[in-house]
Structure 1
Amino acid sequence: MLREALFLVVLCLVAWIGFDALEGQRDEARRERDSAKWEASGLREAARISGEMLAERDAIDQRNTKELTDARTENERLRRAVDDGTRRLRIRATCPASGSLPTATGPGRVADAGTAELAPDARPDYHTLRDQHALSRQMILGLQQYVRGVCQRLPASQDTTFPNFNERTTP
């Protein structure tokens, strides 16, 4: 009988140790599950924010590309109008006052003939400058909008999801 009781006590002790080990494994599995849920939630939020940032970037790009296309179309329309003579390219200029002209030229003077105009060989340069100005303007505006709309929207707690995101690696 003592043997049976001792066997029963040992069996209960082994069962108790086994259940304790299983309980520890269960707790560890729960911690891992909770950690995975938290990480998945963080990744979903990061994906949502990334999607919004990409959509904002695409909207900025589309808007600025349209404005640039419109500016270039207008410039091309102006170029054709100047080339075919329906419009003139005028420049703002003033003629010097009569007292500032050298008197060595004599009494004969030419009256102001009208508004100053670009020479024909300078007109393509003018249109090229207009194109480059429109391109530069849209690039600068697009970058400013990108910084305001996308870069400054980065979440303040991004280091909790991506711990190495802010670290710079030097090559």
Structure 2
Amino acid sequence: MPPLLRNWRTVLAFLLVVLLAGLLLAVGRYRDNAVHFRDQRDTQKAVADSLQVTINDMQRRQQSVAAIDARYTKDLADAQKTISDLRRDVDSGAKRLRVSAKCDRPVSGKSSTTRVDDDGSPRLTDAAQRDYFTLRERIETVTKQLTGLQDYVRQVCLTPALSKGK
């Protein structure tokens, strides 16, 4: 009998050791890959969570800005409607636009004739009246814009809960 077959137990033991070593190497390699992929997954999950927090914060800010914008846009529209109604009433004569003023020349009681410039109470010229309404409208616009911007800064920019994403 050949010597290799005579020591079949030794050969079998050697083959089992080689097979076992191969299996251990393969298992170790797959384990290392699994650990590596788990670490990549955890890193990507952390990035995704961070991005989701940022998205949620941006959505809250957008909703807050939209609410502020809607409120002050409505206030501005109401103010412009009030000014338009007042302008229409003054133009139609339903209301009068009065000016607190004094006449430069005292009117004496001796003269019974009325002059063209003795028109009664002082009033604005037509151009000054138009300018008054334009100025009033612009003041309302700037006031509402400034108030809305201040509200935006207080509610969106300075709010710690929104800026930290909580």
Q: TM-score, with normalisation over the residues of structure 1? A: 0.74
**Structure 2 contact 65–156 (Cα < 8 Å) conserved:** yes
Structure of greater Rg: 2
Q: For the aligned residues, what is the CA RMSD?
A: 2.5
| Paired position in structure 1 for 2:137 | 131
Match of 1:2 among 10, 19, 31: 10
**Structure 2 contact 54–165 (Cα < 8 Å) conserved:** no
Aligned 1:13-52 pairs, distance under 5 A: 13-52=21-60
**1:24–1:63 CA distance, 2 compared to 1 (3 A):** same
* Alignment gaps of 5+ in structure 1: 97-107, 159-171
Aligned residue pairs total 147
Structure 2 counterpart of 1:128, which letter?
T
- Comparing 5-14 and 21-30, the one that deviates more: 5-14
**Structure 1 contact 64–142 (Cα < 8 Å) conserved:** yes
**1:110 corresponds to 2:118:** no
**1:64 corresponds to 2:72:** yes
Structure 2 counterpart of 1:132, which letter?
R
Percent identical among aligned pairs is 34
Structure 2 counterpart of 1:2, which letter?
T
SS at match of 1:86: coil
| Paired position in structure 2 for 1:140 | 146
**Structure 2 contact 99–122 (Cα < 8 Å) conserved:** yes
**Structure 2 contact 64–156 (Cα < 8 Å) conserved:** yes
**Structure 1 contact 60–146 (Cα < 8 Å) conserved:** yes
SS at match of 2:123: coil
Q: TM-score, with normalisation over the residues of structure 2? A: 0.76
**Structure 1 contact 75–131 (Cα < 8 Å) conserved:** yes
